[in-house]
Amino acid sequence: MTSPLAAVDALIAPICIAANRLRQVRDSLPERFWTILPPMFREPVDALFLAVENYDRFIGRMRDAGVMPPKNVS
């Protein structure tokens, strides 16, 4: 039986993967390009990155506490 937290993690994992790929694209762009974009574009993207970082940290703590199985165990 899958725990509810593991089920939520399975749903959110693709979003985290996409956000991390978007971060790679952003990081590959020159700094000037990113800073000339209007805040209405930059701020939501930065918020997404922050949310993914917080979520990854939360899931890591749950794995450390034994609430969720390690990443390599399904």
Average pLDDT value over all residues in the chain: 84
Is the pTM for the entire model greater than 0.85? no
Tokens (6 digits) for 60? 């890591």
Rounded Cα distance between 36 and 22, Å, is 18
Percent of the chain with pLDDT over 70: 93
- Structural contact between residues 54 and 62, judged by C-beta atoms closer than 8 angstroms: no
* pLDDT over 70 (residue 1): no
Confidence of residue 54 (pLDDT cuts 50, 70, 90): very high
Residue 73 in this model has a pLDDT that exceeds 70: no
Identity of residue 14: P
pLDDT of residue 42: 86
The pLDDT value given to residue 5: 78
Amino acid at 70: P
